[in-house]
């Protein structure tokens, strides 16, 4: 029977201690998580032996090895292998067979990501793609920040355009014109707050907008 998703269980198995996997594992430890870091490379395992809760050298595609390290007892696992596609896919598939409730997997391309989803990964991360896309939007000068939350849908952080200053969001008709929603606003010197149709934007306001990628981009480029 599959494990229940225990949200209060702060233990995670991180497979692959390269740049992405080690960075993730160290950050989780910093936030109070118990992390078992696993890699087939003894040098990497030795590097992080003192920083992580537990580390182990092993082949994550081998079922007996995974049972010995206690993989079936973990509620969450991260496959951070990435660069070796076959190993990444086999490991993800094995974690599904071992009934790990929540499996996160790193992909190096959308095709790789689709395969990982097909074999059972619950969440697929494309760190290089996501970072490249984010930097491209920041370089354009229109966005202060940008995040694709899933394929085809994004949240952008930008300054309120002059055309919207002094008007309520209802009056701007921004959803009808651009297909995006202004979900939050940050005044100068304050924090983000949720918006309503009656929210009036001021000079210097920073806003969060959500919508389809192309609509968020079109809105940012409209001023």
Q: Is the pLDDT of residue 222 over 80?
A: no
Q: Which residue has the tokens 């391309």?
A: 109
Cβ burial of 173 (10 Å; 0-12, 13-18, 19+) is exposed
Taking 3-state DSSP, the helix, strand and coil percentages for the chain, each rounded to the nearest 5, stand at 35, 25, 35
| Polymer length of the chain | 223
> What is residue 3's predicted lDDT score, i.e. its pLDDT?
44
pLDDT of residue 2: 41
> Which residue has better confidence, 4 or 193?
193
pLDDT-based confidence at 8, cuts 50/70/90? low
Tens digit of each residue's pLDDT (9 = 90 or more) over 50-61: 999 999 999 999
Q: How many CB atoms lie within 10 A of CB 113?
A: 19
| Mean pLDDT across 79-91 | 91
The stretch 128-155 carries a mean pLDDT of 78
Other C-beta atoms lying within 10 Å of the C-beta of residue 41: 12
Q: How confident is the model at residue 132 (pLDDT cuts 50, 70, 90)?
A: confident
């Amino acid at each position: 029977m599959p494990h229940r998703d225990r949200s209060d269980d702060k233990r995670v198995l991180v497979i692959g201690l390269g740049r992405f996997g080690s960075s993730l594992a160290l950050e989780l430890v910093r936030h109070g998580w118990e992390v078992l870091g696993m890699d087939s490379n003894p040098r990497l395992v030795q590097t992080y032996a003192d920083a992580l809760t537990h580390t182990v050298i092993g082949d994550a595609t081998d079922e007996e090895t995974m049972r010995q390290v206690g993989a079936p007892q973990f509620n969450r696992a991260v496959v951070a292998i990435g660069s070796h596609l076959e190993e990444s896919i086999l490991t993800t598939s094995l974690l599904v067979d071992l009934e790990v409730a929540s499996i996160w997997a790193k992909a190096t391309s959308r095709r790789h990501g689709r395969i990982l989803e097909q074999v059972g990964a619950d969440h697929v991360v494309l760190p290089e793609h996501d970072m490249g896309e984010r930097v491209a939007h920041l370089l354009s000068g229109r966005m202060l920040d940008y995040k694709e939350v899933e394929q085809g849908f994004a949240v952008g952080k930008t300054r309120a355009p002059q055309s919207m200053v002094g008007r309520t969001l209802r009056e701007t008709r921004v959803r009808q014109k651009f297909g995006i929603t202004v979900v939050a606003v940050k005044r100068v010197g304050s924090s983000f707050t949720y918006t309503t149709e009656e929210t009036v934007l001021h000079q210097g306001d920073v806003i969060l907008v959500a919508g389809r990628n192309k609509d968020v981009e079109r809105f940012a480029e409209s001023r």
